[in-house]
């Protein structure tokens, strides 16, 4: 791997922190919505996708609802928005410990999202599990089972503090660069631990922001900037790479590690 000894300004220019998706549109995304109702062909397709996923896990009657939420169900959609498809369950109905259930479902969700690349009008379908007993923060929530809005999106003008959100995002991006440097220095355990810590910090930042200030909080905006800019994906790739390197063993030859295609392109551009 190439050693990145570039200054921070150059790094930021290359990272291209993207704030273009943080805006409020005049209308809902026209390919998905007509007269404030979800296009019927799209609704049926999302139902089929969710059913196939549910059948593979034999969830059956445990599914309470299937909802379409996220920015494409509100006025702050943009070209990089995902189709957030949420499967609502009552985690208390499972005999196992709630934390174990969540970990299992998160694993199955991640595996499904990894195996499938389903797009609707250029927007990727992302599957999520949601516990009905936990509060969900969203400007718009549409039940595709009941074919109606559960939370009607509003276009209330918000003062978006993009300046402070960008500062927060830049600071976290810098920490991600440090993980990269640890890998360059072959400090794989340190890189893995640092990536875990950053991921926890980002989760806490977004959670606290949503609780205190809602979807337009500075913390949630910072999260969106990191996501839109590919920094979150980069962090995940670095974490996997650090884990593979630290767990590998070779007597004399260098360790060969599989790197995701996107990360390989990212590294080659810096050679």
Domain boundary among 129, 151, 173: 151
pTM, whole model, 2 decimals? 0.60
- C-alpha span between 72 and 76 (Å, rounded): 7
**What stretch of H or E contains 89?**
strand 83-89
- C-alpha span between 234 and 180 (Å, rounded): 10
- Does position 203 have pLDDT exceeding 90, yes or no? no
The CATH number of residue 145's host domain is 3.30.460
The boundaries of the domain holding residue 251 are 8-20+160-268
**Tokens linked to 242:** 């650090």
**% residues pLDDT > 90 (the chain):** 24
What's the pLDDT at 14? 42
Residue 65 falls inside a structural domain = yes
- 143 forms beta bridges with 67, 148
- Does position 31 have pLDDT exceeding 90, yes or no? yes
241 and 257 Cβ atoms separated by less than 8 Å: yes
Residue 1 falls inside a structural domain = no
With bands split at pLDDT 50, 70 and 90, how would you rate the model's confidence at 99? confident
- Does position 260 have pLDDT exceeding 70, yes or no? no
Can you list the alpha helix ranges (DSSP code H) found in the chain? 8-15, 40-57, 98-115, 162-184, 188-213, 218-228, 231-247, 261-268
Lowest mean pLDDT among 5-14, 36-45, 214-223: 5-14
Same domain, residue pair 179 and 216: yes
Whole-number mean pLDDT of the chain?
A: 79
With bands split at pLDDT 50, 70 and 90, how would you rate the model's confidence at 49? very high
If one counts the domains in the chain, the total is 2
Same domain, residue pair 147 and 165: no
Same domain, residue pair 84 and 191: no
pLDDT, average across residues 126-130: 85
Same domain, residue pair 67 and 137: yes
Nearest to residue 266, comparing CAs of 78, 16, 98, 20? 16
What's the pLDDT at 106? 78
Same domain, residue pair 15 and 120: no
Domain boundary among 104, 133, 151: 151
19 and 166 Cβ atoms separated by less than 8 Å: yes
Nearest to residue 144, comparing CAs of 73, 85, 64, 67? 67
- C-alpha span between 20 and 81 (Å, rounded): 11
What DSSP state is assigned to residue 2? -
- C-alpha span between 142 and 150 (Å, rounded): 6
Domain boundary among 151, 172, 195: 151
Same domain, residue pair 122 and 205: no
Residue 26 falls inside a structural domain = no
């Amino acid at each position: 791997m190439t050693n990145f000894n570039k200054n921070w300004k150059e790094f930021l220019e290359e990272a291209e922190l993207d704030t273009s998706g943080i805006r409020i549109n005049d209308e809902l995304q026209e390919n998905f919505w007509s007269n404030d109702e979800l296009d019927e062909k799209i609704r049926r397709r999302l139902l089929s996708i969710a059913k196939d996923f549910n059948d593979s896990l034999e969830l059956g009657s445990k599914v309470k609802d299937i909802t379409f939420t996220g920015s494409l169900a509100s006025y702050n959609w943009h070209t990089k928005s995902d189709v957030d498809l949420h499967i609502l369950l009552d985690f208390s109905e499972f005999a196992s410990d709630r934390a174990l259930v969540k970990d299992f479902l998160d694993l199955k969700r991640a595996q499904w999202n990894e195996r499938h690349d389903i797009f609707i009008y250029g927007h990727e379908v992302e599957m999520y599990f949601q516990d009905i007993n936990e509060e969900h923060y969203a400007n718009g929530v549409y039940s595709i089972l009941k074919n109606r809005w559960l939370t009607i999106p509003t276009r209330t003008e918000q003062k978006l503090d993009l300046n402070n959100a960008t500062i927060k995002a830049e600071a976290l991006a810098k920490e991600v660069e440090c993980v990269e440097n640890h890998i360059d220095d072959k400090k794989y355990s340190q890189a893995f631990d640092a990536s875990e810590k950053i991921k926890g910090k980002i989760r806490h930042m977004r959670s606290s922001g949503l609780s205190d200030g809602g979807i337009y909080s500075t913390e949630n905006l910072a999260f969106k900037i990191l996501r839109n800019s590919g920094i979150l994906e980069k962090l995940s790739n670095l974490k996997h790479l650090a884990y593979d390197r630290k767990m590998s063993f070779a007597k004399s030859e260098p360790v060969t590690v599989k790197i995701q295609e996107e990360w390989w392109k990212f590294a080659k551009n810096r050679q």
